[in-house]
């Protein structure tokens, strides 16, 4: 006998509260895999879906391909029922499905939703009545209701509709958006303490998503719609993007004025109100901050609105790798050398310290720009034995050991990994270009801070 909608909802909520609900997470990357481990830690049976067979194989063998996630964590999750698969037919066995796939930019800096669209089309034939579908991938306001929901309805074979308003009599699925708030490398905040924002297409979707996430997060924040939740994520990251652009611009001004921007920031942050410290760098990296402003700017055009302030911040941050290369050239020039023909070692490929994530890393752009100018470039990063081809780079390089640093005309600190002995690096090098203030406290004329 088919349960009426209110009974289905109550039954699924009970399964979530008793940890009997089956959870499917699509995308076993930097967002999906940690989320799967959180659910497994609460004794949920989790199935991880990914189109990459090598990832599926590694996970099912109890291994890990993300440095900060130890194999022991995968093995512990397996004891709670975790498994990985590339077979989307198993979506039919899930009570809730969470989509955590990439949403990059294309070559024209426009949203690329191909991973989301492909995923929704793959799961749509297997969804069932009463199921909860949640999108976590960062995107522009309207994606959940304008793209995900119609694709789910068009792709299933049972005539299921996405529940909206207060109706629920027709066989339906419940759809919500809940933005991921991952911060790779941040060990100061427990993931469970990061509030989970939820916006459902209907009240039942919000209710179910709250019950689900409430099992692993200490606080859920329900908003009125998926669009509000989508905009919330963009605001969080655009806030950071704009403030980083501000200090990146001020850094360049301070350099001309002979002022240390880091000393300025350290003094300013002693104010107990009205100021939050942001720090300059060689450019933005990661999946969110360099990308999210362009998502919103693109969507704003639909409403005849230009996000000039946001676009300017994006331009400043995008230009930072070019500024770094100009400073490398200036440093070499002071040593009567040109970029063309110089041997340059890049320290750090990851977009931030102590992680194994290359997404949108400014190091990649800096390497390509130096190569274009004729430099002989090598790199060292303890997290990347090799780096080959990606969406926006084609380097094909191998990690270089940190020995015989005198052979390089310049050593450039792009990612300030904590494993580096900066004092020793400075002593052994001819010229050190420091883009991260990693050599703070070291007084040596070899250092060019930029």
* pLDDT, average across residues 329-340: 97
Residue of 100, 201, 288, 450 with catalytic role = 288
Q: What percent of the chain has pLDDT over 70?
A: 97
Q: Give domain status of residue 234, yes or no.
A: no
- Same domain, yes or no: 250 and 216: no
Strands 172-177 and 196-200: antiparallel
- So what's the pLDDT on residue 282? 96
Same domain, 214 and 353: no
Residue 222 backbone dihedrals phi, psi, to 5 degrees = -90, 130
User: Which residue, of 172, 190, 223, is where some domain finishes?
Assistant: 223
Single pTM value for the model: 0.91
Q: Which residues contact 316 (CB under 8 A, 6 or more apart)?
A: 245, 248, 249
Query: Treating both helix axes as pointing N-terminal to C-terminal, what angle do 32-41 and 71-79 enclose, rounded to 10 degrees?
Result: 50
Is the pLDDT score of 326 beyond 60? yes
Does pLDDT of 49 surpass 50? yes
- The count of other CB atoms within 10 Å of the CB of residue 388 is 11
Does 165 share its domain with 276?
Answer: no
Q: Residues with Cβ < 8 Å from 403, sequence gap 6 or more?
A: none
Average predicted confidence (pLDDT) for the chain: 94
Is residue 233, in this structure, part of any structural domain at all? no
Between helix 226-257 and helix 292-300 the angle, nearest 10°, is 120
Q: How many domains does the chain have?
A: 2
**Side-chain-facing half-sphere of 372: CA atoms under 13 Å:** 11
Q: The domain that contains 82 carries what CATH number?
A: 3.40.50.720
Is 248 found in the same domain as 217?
no
Is residue 288 among the annotated active site residues? yes
Residue of 349, 351, 329 lying closest to 340 (CA atoms): 329
Four-point Cα dihedral 232, 234, 240, 242, nearest 10: -120
- 132-146, 162-176, 369-383: lowest mean pLDDT where? 162-176
The pLDDT tens digits for 154-196 are: 999 889 999 886 444 577 999 999 999 988 777 788 889 999 9
- Asked if 89 and 124 touch (Cβ cutoff 8 Å), the reply is no
Q: Which of 196, 223, 250 is the last residue of a domain?
A: 223
Within this chain, do residues 140 and 284 fall inside the same structural domain, yes or no? Answer: no
Which pLDDT score, from 0 to 100, does residue 3 have? 55
Q: Are residues 186 and 290 in the same domain?
A: no
What is the span of the domain harbouring residue 217? 5-223
Assess whether 265 and 362 both reside in one domain: yes
The answer to whether 411 and 432 are in contact (CB under 8 A) is: yes
| Maximum average pLDDT range among 6-15, 167-176, 200-209, 351-360 | 200-209
């Amino acid at each position: 006998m088919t349960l009426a909608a209110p009974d289905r909802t109550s039954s699924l909520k009970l399964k979530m509260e008793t940890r009997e609900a089956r959870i499917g997470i699509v995308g076993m990357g930097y967002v999906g895999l940690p989320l799967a481990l959180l659910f497994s830690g609460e004794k949920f049976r989790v199935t991880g879906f990914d189109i990459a067979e090598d990832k599926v194989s590694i996970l099912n063998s109890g291994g890990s391909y993300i440095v900060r996630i130890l194999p022991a964590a995968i093995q512990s999750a397996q004891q709670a029922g975790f498994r990985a698969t590339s077979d989307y037919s198993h979506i039919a066995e899930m009570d809730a499905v969470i989509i955590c796939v990439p949403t990059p930019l294309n070559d024209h800096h426009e949203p690329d939703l191909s991973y989301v669209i492909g995923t929704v089309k793959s799961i749509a034939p297997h969804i069932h009545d009463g199921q909860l579908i949640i999108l976590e991938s960062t995107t522009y306001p309207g994606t959940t209701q304008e793209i995900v929901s119609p694709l789910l309805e068009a792709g299933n074979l049972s005539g299921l509709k996405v529940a909206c308003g207060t109706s629920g009599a027709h066989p339906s699925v419940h759809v919500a958006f809940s933005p991921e708030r991952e911060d790779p490398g941040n060990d100061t905040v427990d993931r469970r303490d990061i509030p989970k924002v939820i916006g459902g297409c209907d009240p039942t979707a919000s209710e179910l998503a709250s019950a689900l996430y409430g099992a692993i997060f200490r606080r859920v924040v329900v908003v009125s719609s998926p669009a509000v939740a989508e905009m919330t994520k963009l605001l969080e990251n655009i806030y950071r993007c704009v403030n980083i652009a501000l200090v990146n611009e001020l850094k360049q001004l301070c350099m001309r004025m002979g002022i240390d921007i880091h000393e300025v920031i350290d003094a300013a942050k002693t104010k107990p109100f009205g100021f939050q410290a942001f720090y300059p760098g060689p450019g933005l990296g990661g999946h969110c901050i360099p990308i999210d402003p362009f998502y919103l700017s693109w969507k704003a055009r639909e409403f005849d609105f230009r996000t000039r302030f946001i676009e300017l911040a994006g331009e400043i941050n995008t230009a930072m790798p070019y500024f770094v290369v100009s400073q490398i050239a200036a440093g070499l020039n002071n040593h009567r050398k040109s970029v063309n023909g110089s041997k340059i070692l890049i320290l750090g490929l990851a977009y931030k310290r102590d992680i194994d994530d290359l997404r949108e890393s400014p190091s990649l752009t800096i390497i390509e720009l130096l190569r274009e100018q004729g430099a002989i470039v090598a790199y060292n990063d303890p997290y990347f034995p090799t780096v080959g081809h990606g969406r926006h780079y084609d380097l094909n390089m191998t990690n270089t050991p940190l020995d015989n640093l005198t052979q390089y005309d310049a050593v450039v600190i792009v990612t300030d990994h904590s494993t580096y002995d900066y004092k020793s690096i400075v002593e052994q090098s001819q010229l050190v270009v420091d883009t991260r203030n990693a050599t703070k406290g070291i007084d040596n004329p070899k250092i060019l801070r930029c």
